[in-house]
Amino acid sequence: MADWWDAADTWLAEIRSGQVNTGIYNQEAWFYVSVAESEFWFGSDHNAIDNLITACYKLTDAISGLNPYAEDPGPTHYEADFLEKYCLTTWESIVSAWVRDDFEGRAWTIAVIDKMRQLIWDEPFDITWSSTIGQAGGP
């Protein structure tokens, strides 16, 4: 069970790495744009165009790091996977948290469950529905 929780750090590191790389590409693009502007004003049109093309490639790299539909997805792809795998609340995540934290918060949990029982106490009970709990296709 510990591996599941430890993997979250790896995912967060991937997100941060993608964000850093995107920032680096963006800075490099601005450098090439400023060089292109200087070369344009000094009459070196071909060098200016070459630097603008390089800047466009750098910006494309930066954007592809943020675009989940890019060929080589970056932070957005990792964020989605991280959220899907580690941030959705499931019964497994709740039970794992209790065990890991030596059952901290159990009093609140039991109080809420008891209140839910109280609220449904007078509702009709469907034996067919309850018999499928935990089975394929059941609640």
pLDDT tens digits along 17-61: 777 788 888 888 989 998 998 988 888 888 889 988 998 988 888
Residue 75 pLDDT > 60: no
Least confident of 53-57, 64-68, 72-76, 116-120: 72-76
Domain membership of residue 122 (yes or no) is: yes
One domain, residues 52 and 120? no
Model pLDDT for residues 113-128, shown as the tens digit of each residue: 898 888 878 777 666 6
Residue 60: domain span: 2-87
Same domain, residue pair 82 and 100? no
The answer to whether residues 96 and 83 belong to one domain is no
Position 4 pLDDT exceeds 50: no
| Encoded amino acid at 22, one letter | T
Write down the pLDDT at residue 69: 53
| Residue 59 three-state SS | helix
> What are the angstrom distances between the C-alpha of 74 and each of 7, 71, 87?
18, 10, 19
| pLDDT band with cut points at 50, 70 and 90 for residue 96 | confident
- CA nearest 18: which of 70, 55, 53, 56? 70
